[in-house]
Each structure stands twice: as structure tokens, then as C-alpha cells.
Amino acid sequence: MTGHAPPSCTGRVGSWLRGRRQWWGTEEGRVSAFVVTLVVAIVAMAGLTLDGGLALAAKVRAGGHAEAAARAGAQALDLNAYRASGTMRLVPDQAVAEAQSYLARVGATGTVSVSGDTVTVAVTSTQRTQLLGLVGISSLPVHGSGSAHPQRGVVGISRGFANSEVDGGGNSREAGAG
């Protein structure tokens, strides 16, 4: 029987097979369009997950750089005024320079402002995307900010332990005592 056409089916089975062939024949690429759309949606969701996580980590890093730069700037005290009267006053130009110097050391860029005794730093960066680049988003903007003001060092010593029952002498209280 090689080289011959298969025998035709008659009756219900034959009409059912002809109907299925016609139904599958009318699809003409619709399944392919569905698969392409589904793949694009899956890549977009994976991109949001991966690149969103990377952007969140970059935002935390930018915030950390901004806070550390603000602390560096808040150390720019007018030492003559502090020694003479104990007044803690910033030297604004020196505070800006110290904060910008810190940002340069860590490879970040940002703006620094001094208002009274507060140093405020805003860091702006971009996070390159890994998967979202496939759907046209090549980078995400990232921002972080921080502020600091000078404070005196240790002003007192606590004799107790935090969140524990300790009497003034430093000894733990016995259960049922005192």
C-alpha cells in the first residue's frame, strides 16, 4: 500500500475528520500570534521582577550615599566658635565641599545644600535594565536623599541595660524582690 492515498472515511467519523481539518485550517497563524503575545508578556513580567529588584537595591544604595555624604558635611564645624562659646555652627562652604568630596569618593553625583545647621544631600543615578531593555526600557532613574546636623558626643552614661529590670546599683532584681 505504499504510495497510495489513505482510504477515505465515510459516515460520522469521516464528516468529523473533515470538520476538524477545516477548523484547524482556518486558524492560519492565530495560535502563533497568541504565543508571541504570551512570550512578550512573560518577558515583561520577568523584567519587572528582575529590574525592579535591581532598581530598589540602587535606590537603597543612593539613599545610603546621600546620608553618609550629609554626615560628612555635618562635620564641618566652625571650631573657633565651638571652642569659644560651645556653639555648634557649620561652615556652609566647607560642609558642601566635604559632602561633595564624599560623593566623588564613592562615585555618586548629587546636590548638596546647607540650611542653618542642616546639611541636605540628594543623589540621582540611573540603573541600567537587564530584561526590560527587550521591551524598550533601557534604564530606570533612581533617587536618594539624606540630611544631617551636627550633634555633641556622649553626654551621659546609662547605668542600666536597655529593656531589662536592673536596679540603680547595676544588679538584677530577684523574682519577687523589691
Q: Are residues 70 and 123 in contact, defined by beta-carbon separation less than 8 angstroms?
A: no
First to last CA, the chain: 106
Output the pTM of the full model. 0.64
Segment holding 71, helix H or strand E: helix 30-73
Here the cell at position 158 is 546609662
What pLDDT shows up at residue 8? 57
Q: Is 28 exposed, middle or buried (0-12, 13-18, 19+ CB in 10 A)?
A: exposed
Averaging pLDDT over each range in 46-50, 101-105, 130-134, which range is the top one? 101-105
Q: pLDDT, tens digit, for every residue of 22-77?
A: 655 555 556 678 888 888 888 888 888 999 999 999 999 999 999 999 999 999 99
Place of cell 553618609: 68
Residue 2: which pLDDT band, with cuts at 50, 70 and 90? Answer: low
What pLDDT shows up at residue 32? 79
